[in-house]
Amino acid sequence: MSIFPKNLQKKLSLRRDNNSLRLLTNEKKNIDFSSNDYLGFSQNKTINDMSQRICNTQKFKNGSTGSRLVSGTHTIHLETEKIIADFHNAESGLLYNSGYDANIGLFSCVAQKGDTIIFDELIHASIRDGIRLSNAKSFKFKHNSLEDLEKKIKKSEGTIYIAIETVYSMDGDSAPLQSIADLSNKYNCLLIVDEAHSNGVFGESGRGSVQEFGLENAIFARVHTFGKALGCHGAIILGSHDLREYLINFSRSFIYTTAAATHSIATIQAAYSELSTTSELKKLQNNIVYFKNGVSKKNLESKFVKSDSSIHCCILPGNDIVKDFAQSLQQKGFDIKPILSPTVPKGQERLRICIHSFNTHKEIDALLTELASL
């Protein structure tokens, strides 16, 4: 047996002592209120059948066989990039293997030494990691605070990039997108928007928050991921033709990795085709309203973060108590996970409840009744 370093063992022990040790668990057959599969696309037979037809027609290999710059770019990669760019009214797009890869690749290479990146304090870990890899200065601003953002802009240097999410993954609340775009334009900043949790949920046919507000031309780069409402895997960075060319040449997480398998790209293409015609978006939006009304009727509003998205968070401070609540709900047949510190700040531990198009009103009622009793 190899020796495990004492300092690493100490960190693990501290997590155990704080009841914050992360563990992998098998999928259970409980009612799904935890996955990001908002539209049920991961189990959509139409998407599965269509992706299989694409694969059979084009006789794909099992893998892409290399990086995009060597042997990994196939016709379907280029077709799918154009389909998605057109769907989102963008000049161009570049596929990445995941949302994490996209954010790492974008933020690490775009901002240069002497530039500044200003990011919302609740921004996703992948964006923070990308910023750490860049040579730019960086400042965080108070969550959704236009006043604090403007203060940070005024003390910034070089080309100024502003990074936000349209919907925040741990709170489910939305950014004041129009106001931030106006502020970005006022000071000639470049706005980067992560649409991971608004893609497939907001806007016409799930096109996202940027298109809902008609702000496509106000955004320097948009990151759309496919592991949430699209029910598959991967991501795309949307922007100008020049941005696509720059990323191909300087984005390390794009250059130095094997391209996504053609089978995966076929599934993405099929998912976008389904997104254009599906009725699941309307069902999802109706369920979100139904859940919010139920929270109000059960007098639980003070426990929840305000949200119009699929993500609804019930704040229950303390790792012990939120884990106990989650376990009780799981025993009642609800698949709900606790979000512990340090994933969220201490005192902000919560149950993260995801609403889907396929959840029934009966299931939502039962969950809210159980929450209220607990």
Question: How large is the average pLDDT for residues 149-165?
Answer: 98
Residue 55 has what pLDDT?
86
Question: Class of 27-44+279-373 per CATH?
Answer: alpha beta
Residues 77-93: what's their mean pLDDT? Answer: 98
- Of the pLDDT bands very low, low, confident and very high (cuts 50, 70, 90), residue 207 is very high
Output the pLDDT for position 56.
83
- 324-370 pLDDT, tens per residue? 999 999 999 999 999 999 889 999 999 999 999 999 999 999 999 99
Q: What is the pLDDT of residue 2?
A: 76
- Quote the pLDDT of residue 157: 96
**Is the pLDDT assigned to residue 290 strictly greater than 90?**
yes
Assign a CATH topology to domain 60-275. Answer: Aspartate Aminotransferase; domain 2 (3.40.640)
Instruction: Give the residue range(s) of CATH 3.90.1150.10 domains in the chain.
Output: 27-44+279-373
User: pLDDT tier at 1 (50, 70, 90 boundaries)?
Assistant: low
**Res 61: pLDDT:** 82
Could you write out the three-class secondary structure of 7-62? HHHHHHHHHHHCCCCCCCCCCCCCEECCCCCCCCHHHCHHHHHHHHHHHHHHCCCC
CB contact at 8 A, 370 and 298: no
Task: Return the percentage of the chain with pLDDT > 90, whole number.
Answer: 91
CA distances from 27 to 6, 24, 203, 288, 335 (A): 33, 10, 31, 24, 9
What does the pLDDT read at residue 19? 87
Q: Are 77 and 269 in contact (CB under 8 A)?
A: no
pTM (2 decimals)? Answer: 0.95
pLDDT digits (tens, 9 = 90+) for 45-69: 999 999 999 888 877 888 899 999 9
> What is the average pLDDT across 98-117?
98
* pLDDT beyond 70 at 127: yes
What's the mean pLDDT when you consider all of the chain?
A: 95
Instruction: Write the CB contacts of 151 (distance below 8 Å, at least 6 apart in sequence).
Output: 141
pLDDT given for residue 87 in this prediction: 98
Predicted local distance difference test score (pLDDT) of residue 119 = 98
CA separation for the pair 152, 171 (Å, rounded): 23
- Give 234-252 pLDDT, tens digit per residue: 999 999 999 999 999 999 9
